[in-house]
Homo-oligomer: A and B are copies of this chain.
Amino acid sequence: MNTQEMLQKLTELEQIQYAYQYVMGVTNFDGNTAAPKNSYQARGQAMAILSGETYKKFINDDVKELLYNLKDKKDKLDFISNRKVEEYIENFEKISKIPMKEFMEFTKLRNESNHAWEQAKTNDDFESFAPYLTKIIEFNKRFANYRKPDKKAYDVLLDDFEKGMEMDDIDKFFKQLKKDVVPNIKEVVKKSASIRDDFLNRSFPINKQKELSYILTDLLKMNRDDYIIAESEHPFTMGLHNNDVRFTTHYYKDMIASSFYSTMHEAGHAIYGLNNDIKLNTTILSGGASNGIHESQSRFYENLIGRSKEFIQYIFPTMKKLFSDQLGDVTANEFYLAVNKPKTSLIRIEADELTYSLHIMVRYEIERMMFEGEVEVKDLPAIWNKKYEEYLGITPPNNTKGVLQDVHWGFGMMGYFPSYALGSAYASQFLAKMKETLDFDSEVAKGDFTKINLWLKENIQTHGAIYTPKQLIKKTCGEEFNPSYYSNYLNSKFKSL
């Protein structure tokens, strides 16, 4: 085969992979939103078999030969093609070291375990979930060891979610936060204690909360024909194509801020997918540069926009009209203070910006301990509660609001959490850069997201996974990742509350 033919072959491979990812993605989405409760076995069996089929399809000597032959032609290929080959080889090496049988078993386990977690969370029953979690950890350890036996398992996982990041990097990042931000938290929390936020827990009709979700996504200029909003226990986004993006949110009657900010957060992920260059559809380079970069976009919309004074001033009259019974006696400024009130709370996804990183640190440290063999699964609830007491001065009343709150472990994802904190830090750095050429505050104050969306699209979202996180930050900001932007943002915002 000549180079042209090999590239053609690669494109075919990409399209077949796209097709599998599409239907398996839809099936996962369906499983988390619409499917009957008892369907998990039917789905688990189908997904396990298909993961075996895709394994055979994409992990074999023919594919390997094609990829390495293309790698040899590096100099003849354009930048995009080289990136594709690079990504493919990385994925190939990641999976090919894992025996197919175990790969299929893990797929099946993840599905069953996700279901077990849902049940366990509903029933506050950690014990029923523990055996699944034990197996999830074993699989992750074993796979990491197959893949890179010379590296620590947790480092392998961290690098999967955020290329180039290992425990040392995360430690350094958290160390800086601990130095710059954490010392102020106690005082800020204390000073903020008098901020009124009782009205956030009044009874907000679900159908009106749903209306609000669409008001927000309309405001952010998302095209309703290209995405849907569904509901699930844990909000998530699935970008399948730039005309097919789905996100979920969760409506609680007595927590208006929960669906409001879940929607803003997931809308950020969704906009990333919708703004992927159309040429990237069905290619391996669709999606995002990394989980951290993806989080930078969701955090951007959730926090830098959604929790800003300007945005609240703009959206609050609409909310007051929608919820006249609930918010009639509240001012925009009171609402702004309430949704930013730093407090020591139990639930990560409802945490304020300032204490959010503490929630991540708890998870990071526990995951690390699990992988370093310093803790047994049965002791997790106790460790979790102890760390919450230590960092946040608060003990969960049950495991539903403690160790069982997040979807990640049930679904087999370990090493993901640091991406959330990194995402927030990246977002602050992007904002600083954006502000050099764009009057961010006044655009938000006008409720006009044309320019802001365009900046994020052109600088970040349109590129999908063309650049690695490091390349993208360098390209966009003209410098390496620098957590100081995040520290400065947090300190300046929360000192002025």
Contacts and interface: CB of A to CB of B under 8 A. Distances in A.
A15 B47 CA distance: 11
A243 B46 contact: no
Residue of A20, A30, A48, A226 contacting most chain B CB atoms (<10 Å): A30
B228 A38 contact: no
Given A26-B26, A27-B26, A30-B29, A244 B35 contact: yes
B50 A19 contact: yes
Given A15-B49, A16-B53, A281-B42, A35 B225 contact: no
Nearest to A48: B19
Nearest to A243: B38
A437 interface: no
A322 interface: no
Interface string A189-232: 00000000000000000000000000000000001111110100
Given A16-B53, A49-B19, A36 B244 contact: yes
A46 B19 contact: yes
Interface in A10-62: 15-16, 18-20, 22-24, 26-27, 29-30, 33-39, 41-43, 45-50, 53, 57
Contacts of A227: 36
A224 to B, nearest CB: 8
B18 A46 contact: yes
Given A15-B49, A24-B23, A26-B30, A39 B241 contact: yes
B225 A36 contact: yes
Given A30-B29, A30-B30, A42-B281, A50 B23 contact: yes
A267 to B, nearest CB: 14
Contacts of A45: 15, 18-19, 22, 282
A45 to B, nearest CB: 7
Chain A: interface residue count, which band?
35 or more
A39 B230 contact: no
Interface string A278-295: 000110000000000000
A240 interface: yes
Nearest to A240: B42
Contacts of A22: 27, 42-43, 45-46
A419 B50 CA distance: 33
Contact of A43 (B38, B244, B282): B244
B34 A230 contact: yes
B29 A228 contact: no
A209 to B, nearest CB: 16
A121 interface: no
B53 A243 contact: no
A41 B22 CA distance: 12
A131 to B, nearest CB: 22
A50 B243 contact: no
A225 B35 CA distance: 9
A377 to B, nearest CB: 28
Contacts of A41: 241, 243
A21 to B, nearest CB: 8
A269 interface: no
B226 A49 contact: no
Closest 5 pairs between A and B when the two form their complex, measured CB to CB: A42-B241, A22-B46, A19-B49, A39-B244, A37-B225
19 contacts: A15-B45, A15-B49, A22-B45, A22-B46, A23-B46, A23-B50, A26-B26, A26-B43, A29-B30, A34-B230, A36-B228, A36-B244, A36-B246, A37-B224, A37-B226, A38-B223, A39-B244, A42-B243, A42-B281
